[in-house]
Amino acid sequence: MENQEIEMVTLPRIGDKAPEFKAVTTQGEINFPSDYKGQWTILFSHPADFTPVCTSEFMTFGVMHEQFKKANCELIGLSIDGIHSHIAWLRTIKEKIEYNGMKNVEVKFPLIDDVSMNVAKKYGMVQPGESTTQAVRAVFFIDPEGIIRTLMYYPLSTGRNFDEIYRTLIALQATDEFGIATPADWRPGDDVIVPPAKTSDLAEERMSGKEELDCKDWFFCTKKLDKDTVLDKILKK
């Protein structure tokens, strides 16, 4: 039997340093992640230019770009298309496409030329079970120190939930800023979870009611965290 080379898909993991790369983009050349040290980045891939699902996503990200920037986060897109295709597609979006109340949308964040698949392969964006020539809809949340904090993957056919992407970014920042965890469906202003007690004495103290906590049991305690307190710390003014 002849030996067959099997290409493995390697995914960077949560807690890993974001793989480094240099790339040409619609906003000029970037060195990643060094050019973005000190701010959050969301690096995301899409299957191809001039496709309808991707167009709806780029229009949404384009409209929300300033909202992400206020949260100290830059967006960086990628597909396995060339720079001229990117430019033509983004011009078409701005000049011709109206969708879901959005029109004249100008995409100002970088879109990476990755015809070589260099970046896509480093980030496991090309998954042969889905396609060997297009990237899946991957989303990487990378913190100001260049560490991967969250990954999301969607198939070619399913558009992403951009409210959830933004909610996740704010939750990650709140976790870092206030030393808490966030429960299911958390949004700023909702109660937050206090890290579980690590000693029996602390568990007993929490259940005594002496602290200003709402404890369902010794391991499940929440507390109030005002919406304005969260957003004042996270959002740029």
Which residues are tagged catalytic? 54
Intra-chain end-to-end CA distance of the chain, in Å: 65
Sign (positive/negative) of CA torsion 89, 95, 160, 235?
positive
Task: Give the phi and the psi of residue 201 in degrees, each rounded to 5.
Answer: -65, -45
Question: How far apart (Å, rounded) are the C-alpha atoms in residues 44 and 35?
Answer: 17
Distance from the Cα of residue 86 to its chain's centroid: 21
Reported residue count of the chain is 237
Peptide bond into 110 cis (omega under 30): no
Nearest to 18 by CA among 39, 38, 45, 43: 43
| b/e 42-70 (16+ beta carbons within 10 angstroms → b) | bbbbbbbbeeebbbbbbbbbbbebeebbe
Count Cβ atoms below 10 Å from residue 198 Cβ, excluding itself: 8
One-letter amino acid at 167 equals: R
206 is in an annotated binding site: no
Binding annotation for substrate: 137
Annotated binding site: 137
